[in-house]
A and B are shown apart, each in its own frame.
Chain A
């Protein structure tokens, strides 16, 4: 029993440590942002007040912030999960789009199902579409060794154009540049249905699903054999192979699961926020934001939840800053600064890991496997 307590204590301590560095980086970058705002000839106080009031000023605004956060948690998880296996899933964007399209299709075509089943099917369809889209990239990497970054970038554009094609043909709402609306039975429950306070926000049950999925991902990575194998491949594929882990299988699996998260993000976005898919002019940005979220969250599922909240605040508070006359680019710059600061921590972690790996290798050579 005491062991168990200690274990929990230790893991909490470690989590705190993992959070501490990004947190410092965030504080520092906000200060740097303030200097920048000042240099642009605006008042930092006005800027940050607008930022936080715009994102958290009332419950409707907070609700909208959480809407963005929901999507970012899932795309962030997607990138983080792949990263744990040493893969860089830059294709979260495409998987998100495929998830949206699959969700809209199932949500529209299967009208007449009972609500709970229909919603479930819609989300599963979206997740699977994203999973297959990413799994294919993983399969290519495992089978022929082509680089997942290049492939997933290209898959993004295939997804974009495929989605636009489907939306303007089979799924097209006649005369409009978007798809049919999904059936009411496929829509996620919104807080506004029961709580007057959230009446004008689109906050939906997806936020709870997203947090639950993040916890599940944490469990999968840290408490199961599959997770152990995936992380092991991420640490050192060669050593893993030597240790009897099927590296190729894990690469495909990690990409597939990563894609499930992004696909689910798209499905939730469709079933909870948009109810349809627009003819896109360009990539949505949620997948790319996921990279930043994962990075700031230190690729830790719990960290991802927090950093998604931070990015949600930045993105939803940004418009209010614009109204106060601060160029919209400033928010982008603050985001960039946070990334840079956190990325420099990244380097430190990598250096540490490199050293550790070296040690393991040395130990392996000596034959003392721990």
Chain B
């Protein structure tokens, strides 16, 4: 009998865990729903309607989803529309979730390559509705795709690394060895070589995005080879890179978001950031201005010029004179004087440009 009681207890605990798991993130969407004053809302039907489907990370992930939602909320405020939100609970729910959202709004947004297949189906099913996808390209006439010029942002942090290194050896830790990540690598190498022609870049890949131990291992190896600044583009492996930086006292460079908070000893020199919020905002803007264009050939790439990428210095570690040089490089990229390479082939023919 006692075993039965134990199992009953377990069941109750599990039932309660249904509540517990739910507790935290609820406030974000719920809280914002109360804010807009009803007085502002005009009586007629709003002209625009849009919403976002998150991946299983959901709102509160301090990453892609939060950033994307911030852009949507900004657009919503400007247009006087309350955007809708659907947080996915299972990875294989993406197709029906996109469909449900498309059914009730005109423009459905989602972030990441995991939505690729699902969005193709939904775009066919709701051919009269519009879709926006960030960070990947979906070739459908009613889907607007937005990607980023990660190489431009990486170039800037490369410049910072090149000006900061004392050993003249810097490291790059990539996640998986494929073209998207090569953009980070190539841009970074070009930046380092431009700012510091004598510097050498060690390039390694962890082969994963979710393994901090691996990231740490690779970073420590690079440190032993003399690297004193290491840039990572390896997702959660980067946590390990930053840990290694804390332990061995070298500089790490974060990616995607400002990662300065990840370091306990303020060893994140700066972070290459990707403005997912600019991405979602851009799509909604295009939809509201009637400049919305679908199809792969019309995919938009946001670079420095569009404020889609850049760098952030949450730890105040970049000296003013370095920041000044970086700004000059940034201007040169924006006005087209420097064309940052995005593939390994382009890097070979790239001639470093020195700006003082």
Residues of A within 8 A of B (CB): 40-41, 54, 60-61, 64, 86, 88, 90, 149, 168, 174-175, 177, 199-202, 269, 273-274, 278-281, 284-285, 288, 291-292, 295, 315-316, 318-320, 322-323, 325, 327-329, 332-333, 335-336, 339-340, 343, 346-347, 350, 354
Contact = CB atoms under 8 A, between A and B. Distances in A.
Contacts of B26: 327-329
Contacts of B104: 320, 323
A343 B19 contact: no
Contacts of B179: 175
Nearest to A41: B34
Nearest to B56: A281
Nearest to B208: A168
B323 interface: no
B91 A316 contact: no
Nearest to B34: A41
A329 B23 CA distance: 8
A221 to B, nearest CB: 19
A332 B87 contact: no
A285 B21 CA distance: 12
A88 B3 CA distance: 9
A333 B20 CA distance: 10
Contact of A323 (B1, B14, B18, B101): B101
A202 to B, nearest CB: 7
Nearest to A164: B210
A350 B210 contact: no
B354 to A, nearest CB: 35
A325 B93 contact: no
B86 A323 contact: yes
Interface of B: 1, 3-4, 6-8, 10-12, 14-16, 18-19, 21-23, 26, 29-30, 33-34, 51, 56, 84-93, 95-97, 99-101, 104-105, 114, 121, 124-125, 176, 178-179, 207-210
B4 A350 contact: yes
A295 B15 CA distance: 11
Given A319-B93, A323-B51, A336-B16, 4 more contacts: A168-B208, A202-B95, A327-B30, A332-B21
User: Interface majority SS on A: helix, strand, loop or mixed?
Assistant: helix
Contacts of A278: 91, 114
Contact of A332 (B7, B19, B92, B97): B19
Contacts of A40: 30
B125 A200 contact: yes
A328 B89 CA distance: 9
28 contacts: A41-B34, A86-B3, A88-B7, A149-B7, A168-B207, A168-B208, A177-B209, A199-B125, A269-B92, A273-B92, A274-B92, A285-B90, A292-B14, A292-B15, A315-B89, A315-B90, A322-B86, A322-B87, A323-B84, A328-B87, A328-B89, A332-B19, A333-B18, A333-B22, A335-B18, A336-B19, A343-B15, A350-B4
A41 B26 CA distance: 14
A347 B8 contact: yes
Contact of B99 (A200, A343, A354): A200
B44 to A, nearest CB: 20
B84 A325 contact: yes
